[in-house]
Amino acid sequence: MCGIVGYIGERSAVGIILEGLKRLEYRGYDSAGVAVLGPGGLQVRRSAGRIKQLEAILREQPVKGSVGLGHTRWATHGRPSEENAHPHTDCSGSLVVVHNGILENYLPIKERLVAEGHTFKSETDTEVLAHLIERHLKESPRLEDAVKKALRELRGSYAIGVVSTGAPDRLVAAKHGAGAVVVGLGAGETVIASDIPAILAHTRDVVVLEDAEVAVVRRDGIELSTLDDQPVQREPTRILWDPIMAEKGGYRHFMLKEIYEQPRAVTDTMRGRVVPESGNVILPDVNLDPAAVREIRRIVLLACGTSYHAALVGRSMLERLAGIPCEVDLGSEFRYRDAVVGPDTLVVALSQSGETADTLGAVKAARAKGTPLLAITNVVGSALSREATGVLYTHAGPEIGVASSKTFTATMTACYLLALYLGRQRGALTAEEGRKRIQELLEIPRLMEATLELDAAVAELARALFHYQNFLYLGRGTHYPIALEGALKLKELSYIHAEGYAAGEMKHGPIALIDEAMPVVALTPRDHTYERMLGNIEEVRARDGKVIAVAHAGDREIAAKADHVIAVPPAVDLLSPILMVIPLQLLAYHMAVRRGCDVDQPRNLAKSVTVE
């Protein structure tokens, strides 16, 4: 799960590569490097740490040339260090490789190469690929042929870029199973990258590589073929994102910007999909004809992390509105329980990135049993969307902050649309009910705007709370997943220990933790869980716990029972989670800022987790 950028054109490559890498730092940031091919041959500069450190090295030892590759790393094999940073070279230093993914059988191949006289300088799996290509170049002098032969020997996942002094007019890129490789076609120049924001400053016309494809990338375009040498024709796609969408837009952090973008993101998720007059939802890309919809007996939702929490809310939506039994499983666990699924089970995989290896592994296991697969994802053309039989894109726009925010609320909105769609198709919802539910949904962006006005009050609360070391988040029903998400946000951003619990479970164990040093965030919407939540709050207070209630505006009763109340606009219980999570995102954000944490790139995390 690293970021790759490559450039070939007339301009100096290094600046373009560095700028691109900065936009990909969310993919990994423990070390970085560049290699540029110029009059002086291949010049490689690498550094442990972030791209800023690499830039300092480049100021002292500049490189020149108009062909090059860069990489920002998240370590899988070998600790983060200069030696393990990419690009990696072959023995002669005339070829470099950058790689995202894991080469599973690198060790036996490395042993063989060492026996043949190759010398290795790093602990990485990637370096094996550089030496393997070097070896194949002896019999297959065309770089792309040698790359293909090397890749055919390797098992695992990869997105790679290769440059060689023997082929100064091209880069070679390939991918299989790892993160994306996007090729941007400019005027007299071509840029490759792991994600679109790294390319947008140069061109909007992109070609996305599929699995087991290899691209020969030249200044004036690309040639695509499969690993087994079949030519591939693919028209470029025009990307309509405004480059400013991928910038901070005046906010101090990407995450804050993304929290504020939520009303827009949720609106975009609904855009063109709801018909208020008929109470219907139009989702052509889910690719389920009416007969297939009627045949669904069960839904299994698969996801990880924040997307898993969205799936838990989605389950309530689907069961209530579509009347279909639902289960939710973690992508990382599904394969280990021999789940009974089949053609009448609709598997719905939720993943912001569409590249999460655990979720992809789970859906492959499900697909092997003949299930249809619907992907809910934010990334068009992602691995998950390609694996799926139908897609529901969230259209939330690029999310750069490593901790998800706008994609969480957009994913819950997508689940709601799906639930309405299935409910209407199966006759579980009348047209009148459909109209009412759509009206309630259409109100949500405005209510989200109102909820964001709590920002200053939440920042003030963060000032009072940021020195605590442990937090408990409690919720019931549709707000239990919001308790989980609130706790996850706090852990990720501020490194404070936090637990999310189903409030009813507190008495079964966690109550032992409660004392004056344990603030408890209690999600207390005025719904059918309200009385029981009040009971839980009393239990906390009786043990000297500090209570922060996230409640519905206008609730007078709660003010007498909690130390702090965050009053969120009321909404029906299936949609209230979309509002209630916002103050929890803001609380985690402000606590992290107070504690001096790196909000956009928390330690040890990466945006797309492309390893299992």
Residues that bind ligand AGP (CB under 6 A): 304-307, 351-353, 356, 359, 402-404, 492, 605, 608-609
For 94, the token pair is 């005339």
Residue 298, CA distances (Å) to 327, 342, 348, 360 in order:
8, 10, 11, 20
Strand spans (E) along 233-366: 237-238, 274-275, 280-281, 298-303, 326-330, 345-351
Residue 424, CA distances (Å) to 152, 314, 323, 335 in order:
48, 16, 10, 32
The DSSP H or E segment spanning 482 is: helix 480-494
What is the rounded CA–CA span in Å between residue 422 and residue 428?
A: 8
Quickly list H helices, 98-209: 106-115, 126-137, 143-153
Q: Which amino acid is located at 75 in the chain?
A: A
Which residues, in sequence order, are CB contacts of 189 under 8 Å at separation 6+? Answer: 7, 8, 9, 10, 11, 202, 219
What is the rounded CA–CA span in Å between residue 526 and residue 563?
A: 18
Which residues, in sequence order, are CB contacts of 237 under 8 Å at separation 6+? Answer: 205, 206, 207, 208, 381
490 three-class SS: helix
For 475, the token pair is 């919720």
Which residues, in sequence order, are CB contacts of 12 under 8 Å at separation 6+? Answer: 64, 65, 66
DSSP string, 432-443: HHHHHHHHHHHH
- The backbone torsions φ and ψ at residue 275, rounded to the nearest 5 degrees and listed phi first, read -120, 95
Helices (H) and strands (E) in the chain, counts: 19, 27
The crossing angle, in degrees rounded to 10, of helices 431-452 and 406-425 is: 170
Q: Are 77 and 24 in contact (CB under 8 A)?
A: no
What is the rounded CA–CA span in Å between residue 376 and residue 392?
A: 5
What is the rounded CA–CA span in Å between residue 396 and residue 241?
A: 11
- The backbone torsions φ and ψ at residue 44, rounded to the nearest 5 degrees and listed phi first, read -115, 135
What is the rounded CA–CA span in Å between residue 543 and residue 490?
A: 23
Q: Are 376 and 401 in contact (CB under 8 A)?
A: no
- Catalytic residues, which ones? 2, 607
DSSP string, 281-294: E--GGG---HHHHH
Sign, Cα dihedral of 189, 195, 197, 198: negative
What is the rounded CA–CA span in Å between residue 147 and residue 416?
A: 46
The crossing angle, in degrees rounded to 10, of helices 480-494 and 305-317 is: 170
